[in-house]
Amino acid sequence: MGPIDPARVQKELDARLGRDVYLHLETTTGSYTALGPEKRTPVIAFVRNASIRYERGLVTGEGPYRVGLKLDSGWVYAQGLTDYTVTERDELLLAGHDEEGNLRVGLQLSLQPFRE
């Protein structure tokens, strides 16, 4: 993974436009926040291998970036994205990392299901 290049990410979003794609979307504080000095409740959510189709998909912002996908009947949204890669399996992975390298948010699209 490396820093998001918005033009390249836009190309990748366009390449998957109008097709049935598998979505992985997540956000996480990590499971151990309750043990930290601030004793915060962990907040974690993910969806893996939901099937979607988007008619419009954009990467926006100056970094960290936002991605919004307009579906036939709904939306997919992620904010705080910093890095991306395209894997050997042609999966588009977008992630937001904190300054220590921890994942905070992830939005991933693939024409084949992500490995279960």
Partner 1 sequence: MSIQPPPPERIDHLVEGMTMLDPSAERGIVVSLPHPDDESFSSAGTMALASDAGVPVTYLCGTFGDMGRRMGSPFFANRESMRDVRERELADACTILGARYELLGMRDRMVEFEDPHEVATRIRAVLERLDPSTVITFYPGHAVHPDHDAMGLATHLAVAALPDPKPRLLAVAVGDREQLRAALGPQHVAVDIRTVRQRKLGALRAHRSQTEMMFQRWERERDDDEQMRAYREENLTVERFYRLNGVAIPLPR
**Which residues of this chain interact with partner 1, rule CB under 8 A?**
1, 24, 26, 28-32, 34-35, 37, 44, 46, 83, 85, 87, 89, 91, 93, 95, 97, 100-104, 106, 108, 114-116
Name every residue whose Cβ is closer than 8 Å to that of residue 14 and which is 6 or more positions away in sequence: 57
Residue 114 CA to residue 100 CA, distance in Å, equals: 26
Report the nearest approach of partner 1 to the CB of residue 88 (Å): 10
Report the nearest approach of partner 1 to the CB of residue 24 (Å): 7
Residue 32 or residue 72: which is nearer to partner 1 going by CB? Answer: 32
Report the nearest approach of partner 1 to the CB of residue 36 (Å): 9
CB-based contact 33:102 (threshold 8 Å): no
Angle ∠(13,15,18) on CA atoms, nearest 5: 85
Residue 26 or residue 61: which is nearer to partner 1 going by CB? Answer: 26
Residue 18 or residue 113: which is nearer to partner 1 going by CB? Answer: 113
Residue 34 or residue 56: which is nearer to partner 1 going by CB? Answer: 34
What does each C-alpha distance from 72 to 12, 19, 57 come to in angstroms? 20, 12, 12
